[in-house]
Structure 1
Amino acid sequence: MTQPKAIIFDLGNVLVDWNPDYLFRKIITDEERRKFFLTNICNLHWNELQDGGRTIAEGTAELLAQYPEWEEQIRAYYDRWTEMFNGPIEGTVEIFRQLKAQDGYKFYALTNWSAELFPIALELFPFFHWFDGRVVSGEEGMRKPDPAFFQLLLDRFGLQANEVLFIDDNLRNVTAAEGIGMDSIRFENPQQLQAALAQRGIVVNL
């Protein structure tokens, strides 16, 4: 297998552990009510609209108009957003660190992330600065799994799809990347990633 020129990382749940439940288990202690809220109100589809460029104010206002009885919880979603993180996924950060020490690779981030929140993430997670470049969905007005979003990164940094390795935890994003010719790994955990890299002749140690 040909060695890639560039390795592209997703960020959430690849390099950092993110889950709204980490916050809302503190706010909504009843499990059934919490599941209802995160499935039907502040759900992942709604969050992705902000990742795609809609402002947090617009997204919040939409839900407040529909669910005024949930105002406290809706506002908490972004007011206390940093509490949705359980820190770095240390094994993946170590893999990234070792890959950075090897010659021959460029590193890019391709992430679905609100443009308003990403500057905070850069402060929270210093290793986000290790990339040679990054493409943030909220800044571009498009997001994974749109093939055009992948192509934007390739064009911006002068890459071809067959020259890169893409790592993401979401199957739909991996499928989209493979659809335009990117070798891709669906991330499950650092040990699985280490093994998948080894299959490609890329050696790291955990």
Structure 2
Amino acid sequence: MENNYKAIVFDFGNVIIDIDLNLTYKKFAELTFKKPEKIKAIFEENSLFEKFETGHFDENEFRDVVRQILGFPLNDNEIDLAWNSLLLEVPSHRFDYLERLRTKMPIYLLSNTNSIHIKKCKSYFRLKFGISDFTQLFRESFLSYEIELWKPDYKIYDYVLKSIKLDASEVLFLDDNADNIQAASDLGIQTIKINPPECFTDVLSKIYLDV
């Protein structure tokens, strides 16, 4: 890969922060006495992630939808804890690398996410790294629930390119999802697929020897 790009765009889940969706399915299963596979199927049938993460409903509406589709009277705290259980750790060396990289090149965040997860992550970064708002690591953060667009829709990549005022070929995009990578590549964006437990720091260190 030629190092001819002018910005790097990072996915969040399983690139910067480790996540495990199965933990959320498992936690909701424990709370509702259903099997994790059933929880996953219900969420997928109702497009729960996509709808919440594109701003179709706010947090209170989301919790009501969860109660409705699961047919169980969970309280708000139970829902939030189960929903956030997929969020794991950010290894310190990733945070340190981003802090160094941002002094050498514009870096951006592009994530399919929601307000409940973002609030939890902001709290996590405050406690672990002492940063009041982790999105400050990036020149700009493109969060699906705020811009009401979702990967891998081409529109979200067009939105980012127009916002940062760069051509597709001038941008490097890192994501762990093959569909997201393919869509970005279709538009001419340079891409690297991260395959957990592979770490983006190892990948980029081969390109940026001085970070």
TM class by smaller structure: 0.7 to 0.9
Q: Are residues 1:150 and 2:157 paired?
A: yes
CA distance in 1, matches of 2:95, 2:197: 9
Query: What's the CA shift for 1:39?
Result: 1.6
SS in 1 for 2:142: strand
User: Which residue is equivalent to 2:5?
Assistant: 4
Among 155, 168, 184, the alignment partner of 1:177 is 184
Could you state the TM-score of these two structures normalised by the residue count of structure 1?
A: 0.79
Describe the shift of the 1:114–1:6 C-alpha distance in structure 2 as closer, same or farther (beyond 3 A).
same
Q: Write out aligned runs for 1:27-176 (5 A).
A: 28-29=29-30, 33-43=34-44, 45-55=47-57, 56-68=59-71, 70-72=72-74, 76-101=78-103, 103=104, 105-115=105-115, 117-125=117-125, 126=131, 127-176=134-183
- 8 Å Cα contact 1:53/1:115 also seen in 2: no
CA distance in 2, matches of 1:84, 1:180: 31
Describe the shift of the 1:188–1:97 C-alpha distance in structure 2 as closer, same or farther (beyond 3 A).
farther
User: Which residue is equivalent to 1:14?
Assistant: 15
- 8 Å Cα contact 1:41/1:63 also seen in 2: no
Query: What's the CA shift for 1:203?
Result: 2.6
SS in 2 for 1:85: coil
CA distance in 2, matches of 1:36, 1:190: 24
Describe the shift of the 1:88–1:198 C-alpha distance in structure 2 as closer, same or farther (beyond 3 A).
closer
What RMSD, in angstroms, separates the aligned Cα atoms of the two structures? 3.1
Q: Which has the higher mean CA deviation after the structures are superposed, 158-167 or 54-63?
A: 54-63
CA distance in 2, matches of 1:117, 1:190: 21
Describe the shift of the 1:65–1:119 C-alpha distance in structure 2 as closer, same or farther (beyond 3 A).
closer
SS in 1 for 2:95: helix
Query: What's the CA shift for 1:25?
Result: 4.2
Q: Which has the higher mean CA deviation after the structures are superposed, 176-185 or 111-120?
A: 111-120
Query: What's the CA shift for 1:164?
Result: 0.8
Counterpart amino acid of residue 123 in structure 2? E
5+ long unaligned stretches in structure 1: none
Describe the shift of the 1:37–1:158 C-alpha distance in structure 2 as closer, same or farther (beyond 3 A).
same
Deviations 1:97-120 (A, max 9, x none): 34234x3x1010011112455344
CA distance in 2, matches of 1:149, 1:140: 8
5+ long unaligned stretches in structure 2: 126-130
Q: Which has the higher mean CA deviation after the structures are superposed, 120-129 or 131-140?
A: 120-129
- 8 Å Cα contact 1:95/1:204 also seen in 2: no
Could you state the TM-score of these two structures normalised by the residue count of structure 2?
A: 0.77
User: Which residue is equivalent to 2:128?
Assistant: none
CA distance in 2, matches of 1:130, 1:64: 35
